[in-house]
Structure 1
Amino acid sequence: MALPTALLESLHHVPGYDENGFIRVHESNLNITSVRFNKYKPIAGEQEYLPLKRQVPWNEAGYYLAERPSFTLDPLFHAGAYYVQEAGSMFVAQALQQSGMLDKPLTVLDLCAAPGGKTTLIQNMISEQSVLVANEVIKTRVPVLIENLTKWGADNTIVINNDPSEIGKLQGIFDIIVVDAPCSGSGLFRRDKNAIKEWSPEAVTLCSKRQQRILSDIWPALKPGGLMIYSTCSYSREENENIAKFLEETNHAEILELNNIDKTWGIVESPVGNGTGYRFYPDKVDSEGFFLCCVRKSDTDGHIQYLSEAADKTDKKTEALAKDWLNANTDYQVYQNKEQVFAMPLPTFKLFNVLKKHLNIRKAGFKVGDIAHNKLVPDHALALSEKYTANIDGIELNKKQALQYLSKLNFDFEEDIKDGWYIVKYRHLSLGFVKKIGNRFNNYYPKDWRIRQSID
Structure 2
Amino acid sequence: MSKPRRRKQKKQVKAELKLRQFAATELSDQLAALPCAADLPRFMVDTVAGAYAPADAELMIEGFGAAATRPVTLRANTLKATAEDIAAALDAAGIAHRPVAWYPDASILPEAQVSDLWDLDIYRDGKIYLQSLSSMMPPLVLGAQAGEDILDMCAAPGGKTTQIAALTQGQAHLTACEMSIPRAEKLEANLHRQGAKNVPVMRIDARELDEFFRFDRILLDAPCTGTGTVVSGNEKSLRGLTEQLLSRCARSQRALLDRAMGALKPGGTLVYSTCSILPQENEDALQEALDKHMDCELIPLDGTPSESEARRAQEAGEEPRIESNALTEAIAAGQVSAIANGLPGTLTIPPSRDFEGFYIALIRKRS
Higher strand share: 1
Residue-by-residue CA offset, 1:3-24 (whole Å, 9 max, x unaligned)? 1121111112434663444343
Report which of the two structures shows the higher radius of gyration computed on alpha carbons: 1
Distance 1:268 1:242 in 2: 18
Structure 1 residues 194 and 58, CA gap change in structure 2 (3 angstroms): same
- Amino acid of the structure 1 residue aligned with 2:348: R
| Percent of residue pairs identical | 27
User: Helix, strand or coil for the counterpart of 2:340?
Assistant: strand
- Amino acid of the structure 1 residue aligned with 2:220: V
Q: How far off its partner does 1:229 sit?
A: 0.6
Q: Is 1:34 aligned with 2:94?
A: no
- 2:106 aligned to which of 56, 62, 68: 62
Distance 2:101 2:164 in 1: 17
Distance 1:15 1:23 in 2: 11
Distance 1:72 1:24 in 2: 32
- 1:265 aligned to which of 303, 315, 335: 335
Distance 1:93 1:46 in 2: 26
Structure 1 residues 90 and 256, CA gap change in structure 2 (3 angstroms): same
Q: What does residue range 323-402 of structure 1 map to in structure 2 within 5 Å?
A: none
Q: Is the 8 A contact 1:228 1:296 kept in 2?
A: yes
Distance 2:285 2:101 in 1: 27
Structure 1 residues 168 and 263, CA gap change in structure 2 (3 angstroms): farther
Structure 1 residues 73 and 127, CA gap change in structure 2 (3 angstroms): closer
Distance 2:243 2:333 in 1: 32
Q: Is 1:89 aligned with 2:89?
A: no
* Corresponding position of 2:62: 24
Distance 1:164 1:20 in 2: 36
Distance 1:269 1:21 in 2: 10
Distance 1:234 1:72 in 2: 29
Q: Is the 8 A contact 1:85 1:117 kept in 2?
A: yes
Q: Is the 8 A contact 1:179 1:231 kept in 2?
A: yes
Q: What does residue range 101-250 of structure 1 map to in structure 2 within 5 Å?
A: 102=145, 104-126=146-168, 128-171=170-213, 173-190=214-231, 193-250=235-292
Distance 2:239 2:193 in 1: 34
- Amino acid of the structure 2 residue aligned with 1:204: L
* Corresponding position of 1:354: none
Q: How far off its partner does 1:200 sit?
A: 1.9
- Amino acid of the structure 1 residue aligned with 2:75: R
- 2:357 aligned to which of 276, 285, 289: 289
Pick 1 or 2: higher relative contact order, CA cutoff 8 A, min separation 6: 2
Higher helix share: 2
Note the residue ranges of structure 1 that are not aligned, 5 or more in a row: 300-456
Residue-by-residue CA offset, 1:20-52 (whole Å, 9 max, x unaligned)? 443434335313210000112223624514634
Number of aligned residue pairs:
292
Note the residue ranges of structure 2 that are not aligned, 5 or more in a row: 1-37, 302-323
